[in-house]
Structure 1
Amino acid sequence: MRLIQKHDQNMTGRDFIVSDIHGQYDLLIEAMARVDFDKIKDRLFCVGDLIDRGADSLKCLSLPFEPWFFGVRGNHEMLALEALERGGNAESLWMINGGTWANKENRPEVHRLLLKALKYLPYARQVEVMGQQIGIVHAESPADWSMIEDAGPAEKEQIVWGRSRIKRMEKTPVTGIDAVVVGHTIIERPTWLGNVFYIDTGAFQTGRLTLINAREVLA
């Protein structure tokens, strides 16, 4: 799989972007219903962290197989992968960070499903909307969006785990892209830093799952 997948403009329907789902399947369905989401014409892009901390994580892990759903991998998908393949400290870290839902499931089945889902979860997506380009990663983009094409281990870790930009409240725009939408860091309300839009409103804690029309990102 390529590190980034690019999508042409949706000529028949709308595009939406949703924040970290974290096993809150019912909240997602409710949010989609509020915007009259059309599974035939519309597309839903997700900033990652489909699983952990929510009871319906297994259901959410099946979302990448839906033809209308387009996610990127988050740090919780990677935590799960490390735990299921290595055990030990990786297992403990996963459990501490919300992986306990897997204890009620068939572990080999969870592992199989995760490996299959990751084939549909690149590190980044790029979507054309109204003639402009929106980038989507889980945590943090490199300073130059084009660096994702050839990202090495350090860049991949930044994409999935990074928080340096929001810690510094850095407003310097990411170059090579019109806007970037990220999750990972919980904020009270969707927030812009330069051309980077943070949308994780902590659904598993607050019950508020952010789902926005991609056109609003460029408004």
Structure 2
Amino acid sequence: MPRQFERNTRGHDYVVGDLHGHFELLEQALDDVNFRPDRDRLFSVGDLIDRGPQSMRCLELVHEPWFNAVCGNHESMAQRALLEDQWGLWLLNGGDWSQQFETDELRQRLSDAIQKMPLAMEIDTVHGPVGIVHAEPPADWANIGEAPHELLLWSRQRVESRTVTPIANITAVVVGHTPVTAPLMLGNVRNIDLGSFFSGRICMERLDDIAAMV
């Protein structure tokens, strides 16, 4: 089951695309919307780490009370490297920043963060519930609990095929993972990964606005 969040009645709920270690881009985006951590919340589509200069600082955002993130494929690669000693794939995909840390320290800090990063989240908005997964949701949100990890963390099929069939039993779903030049709406699925590690841009949008697009 996805992690559930009640409607925010005190402030605004935002969602941000893949950060990939670019903490300074996030800081600027938060300033641009006059983000108030005492009343606003920020949700993330995952891939907080790798390829950028401040991966650890981005990863540890999950310990902030105003920040929530789903697990991305880069967090999954890091987990397999540190817990299953499968380093090759992670190091080839931006995990070289890990060499700055002692392995035991890195393993503990990653483990502490991953525990707070579910594979899916669902947030209530004034226009209905909005789901968040890293890569791609199942065709029916009611089946999110049984969806393969490969689909949720790695799939690009919906974006690459430009599928517009709506996901059933959810108002909208927000994903990242596959870089696009501008936020892309396919049916009721919103892709907001702007490829921060090569574009120098991230996308931050209000969840209410995304739900209202459907």
Q: Same fold (TM over 0.5)?
A: yes
More displaced, 65-74 or 78-87? Answer: 78-87
Report what 2:12 is aligned to: 14
- The alignment status of 1:195 with 2:188, answered yes or no, reads yes
Q: How far apart are residue 182 of structure 1 and its match?
A: 0.1
8 Å CA contact retained: 1:58, 1:110: no
Report what 1:180 is aligned to: 173
- The alignment status of 1:161 with 2:154, answered yes or no, reads yes
- The alignment status of 1:209 with 2:207, answered yes or no, reads no
Report what 2:109 is aligned to: 113
Work out the percentage of aligned pairs sharing the same amino acid: 42
TM-score by length of 2: 0.96
- The alignment status of 1:49 with 2:47, answered yes or no, reads yes
Q: How far apart are residue 149 of structure 1 and its match?
A: 2.4
Report what 1:33 is aligned to: 31
Q: How far apart are residue 162 of structure 1 and its match?
A: 1.0
- The alignment status of 1:100 with 2:93, answered yes or no, reads no
**Aligned counterparts of 1:41 and 1:191: Cα–Cα separation in 2:** 28
**Aligned counterparts of 1:98 and 1:139: Cα–Cα separation in 2:** 18
**Aligned counterparts of 2:143 and 2:153: Cα–Cα separation in 1:** 14
* Partner deviation per Cα, 1:28-49 (whole Å, 9 max, x = no partner): 1111011010010000000000
**Aligned counterparts of 2:8 and 2:190: Cα–Cα separation in 1:** 21
List 4+ stretches of structure 1 deviating above 6 A: none
Report what 2:77 is aligned to: 79
- RMSD between aligned alpha carbons? 1.0
* Unmatched runs of 5 consecutive residues or more in structure 1: none
8 Å CA contact retained: 2:127, 2:211: no
**Which residue identity lines up with residue 116 of structure 1 in the other structure?**
D
**Which residue identity lines up with residue 158 of structure 2 in the other structure?**
R
Q: How far apart are residue 131 of structure 1 and its match?
A: 4.1
- The alignment status of 1:122 with 2:141, answered yes or no, reads no
* Partner deviation per Cα, 1:134-189 (whole Å, 9 max, x = no partner): 000000000000111234xxx12201111111121111100010100000000000
**Which residue identity lines up with residue 172 of structure 1 in the other structure?**
T
